[in-house]
Amino acid sequence: MTPADSLVPASRRNSGFTLHRFANPGRFLRLSGAVLPWVAIPGIGLTVAGLIWGLAFAPADWQQGETVRIIYVHVPAAWLASAGYAMLALCALLSLVWRHPLADLAAAEISPVGAVFTAICLASGSLWGRPTWGTWWVWDARLTSVLVLFFLYLGHIALVHAFDDPQRGYRAGAILALVGVVNLPIIKFSVNWWNTLHQPATISLFGAPTMSLAMLWPLLIAALGYTLVFVALVLARTRAAVMERRIRALLMARAELAA
Amino acid sequence: MTRKRRRLWIVLACGLSLGVAATLSLLALSPGMELFVLPADLAQRTPTPGRVFRLGGLVQAGSVQKTLIGREPAVSFRVTDGKASIPVTYVGILPDLFREGQGVVTLGEVQPDGSFRASEVLAKHDETYMPKDVAEALKRNGLWNPAAGPPPPASTWNTLNARQLDTKQTGQTGKAGG
């Protein structure tokens, strides 16, 4: 602890401490190892249950017919694409301001998972658009902003790995991730601000969902499952990254010893 | 001020500037972000002949006429936004969701006679999802005519099945009668 830190009031020092207690890789590995099965197993279970319920047992829509079942794949993926980006931006903030070492590793592991969820959202949306709207793709504000989100994820993946010094890659990636946050409200409100082919939100914080409960339940269960699977994937990948860094440090130490 | 504090302020200041810049750009670009033009907008400014653009709105109830031109299916209908309506002609296969009262987005150009010739018709669907039997019950009880407008408020039907909707409706009529 530097002298400057001891001038900070005890309460503030405490909050810094809570944030940084997970910076200890050993503690992170122990804790995440204990939590992981409790996230992964319910996540897979709820996803499978929600999808089976939605794809096989939920009622068909009065005008879309069976095609509506794509919603159980598409909507949770879309939610997680945006929520995952919010997680990425949070890690970027923790990394830029508080120099949290685990935040850098987590950010680098979130973006590939987020990119996959965004790809699922785009692909399933395209498959849904063809029979209902009559087109695979249209350049309306919602579809375009989600495509931009996909490229932001890809850009983050590329940027993080573009430097010989990993720290510089993490720094550049964090800045990109924070700048890209501008896109999140655009995605959410694109369907309200401009006229689009994509319809506005069915489920909102205020007001009743414009969806029968028989269809809403499997959707919410699948969404909860997707969320847990997303978190489990990021946790497992971050654990692997921590272990990889340890092994690399050990190998370097051994090489130096031998030299 | 600690270094963390200073970094936090820098990030917040950058975020604020970026937010303002993004808002201003979006406000400036806003008309370009629209996918389609509404009939009322078209009535205000006459479009250049031969310019291809998208016209969107609702298919006016009772305006759909289907014919055959040779062996191709052809259709004419009016697109309305409640304030103005434009006659549209289209030769080709319509999307499954096309019906009276449905939102559509058509791509084409204005003809000399003021009608719109579409080369593509896309169907919009609204944010409502309901099982077939619930939709049938709403129609049967006179609560909703899909050709005339959007469904009743979701809170009146989204927790109910068709049978509950029927009994609720007859219960209410019974009370009104007594």
Q: Is A10 a domain residue?
A: no
Q: Note the pLDDT tens digit of each residue in A188-220.
A: 999 999 999 999 999 888 888 899 999 999 999
Residue B167: predicted pLDDT = 82
Find the CATH number of the domain harbouring A253.
Answer: 1.20.120
Average pLDDT, chain A: 90
Residue B175: predicted pLDDT = 44
Domain span at residue A140 reads 38-200+212-258
Residue B114: predicted pLDDT = 84
Contact B75, B66 (CB under 8 A): yes
Mutation target to probe the A interface, by most A beta carbons within 10 A, among B35, B133, B139 is B35
Total-model pTM: 0.89
Mutation target to probe the B interface, by most B beta carbons within 10 A, among A194, A215, A219 is A194
Tell me what the mean pLDDT of segment A164-185 comes to.
Answer: 94
Residue B82: predicted pLDDT = 87
Q: Note the pLDDT tens digit of each residue in A102-135.
A: 999 999 999 999 999 999 999 999 999 999 999 9
How close A33 comes to chain B (CA, Å)?
30
- What does the domain layout of chain B look like in residue ranges? 1-33, 39-123, 132-177
Confidence check: pLDDT of A248 > 50:
yes
Residue A22: predicted pLDDT = 62
ipTM of the prediction: 0.87
Residue B71: predicted pLDDT = 82
Confidence of residue A151 (pLDDT cuts 50, 70, 90): very high
CATH topology for the B39-123 domain: OB fold (Dihydrolipoamide Acetyltransferase, E2P) (2.40.50)
Confidence check: pLDDT of A1 > 80:
no
Q: Is A159 a domain residue?
A: yes
Q: Is A97 a domain residue?
A: yes
Q: Is A115 a domain residue?
A: yes
In this complex, do A193 and B153 lie within 8 Å of one another by their Cβ atoms?
Answer: no
Of the CA atoms within 13 Å of residue A106, those in its CB half-sphere come to 28
The stretches in chain B having pLDDT less than 70 are 1, 171-178
- Residues with Cβ within 8 Å of A7's Cβ and at least 6 positions away in sequence, in order, are none
Q: Is A108 a domain residue?
A: yes
Percent residues over pLDDT 70 in chain A: 91
Q: Is A196 a domain residue?
A: yes
Confidence check: pLDDT of A91 > 90:
yes
Residue A31: predicted pLDDT = 92
Q: Which residue has the higher pLDDT, B143 or A226?
A: A226
Show the 3-state SS of chain A. CCHHHHCCCHHHHHHHHHHHHHHCHHHHHHHHHHHHHHHHHHHHHHHHHHHHHHHHHCCCECCCEHHHHHHHHHHHHHHHHHHHHHHHHHHHHHHHHHCCHHHHHHHHHHHHHHHHHHHHHHHHHHHHHHHHCCCCCCCCHHHHHHHHHHHHHHHHHHHHCCCCCHHHHHHHHHHHHHHHHHHHHHHHHHHHHCCCCCCCCCCCCCCCCCECHHHHHHHHHHHHHHHHHHHHHHHHHHHHHHHHHHHHHHHHHHHHHHC
| Closest in B14, B99, B124 to A197, CB measured | B124
Q: Is A92 a domain residue?
A: yes
Phi, psi torsion values for A106, nearest 5 degrees: -65, -40
Count of domains in chain A?
1
Q: Is A14 a domain residue?
A: no
Q: Note the pLDDT tens digit of each residue in A14-54.
A: 444 455 666 678 888 999 999 999 999 999 999 999 999 99
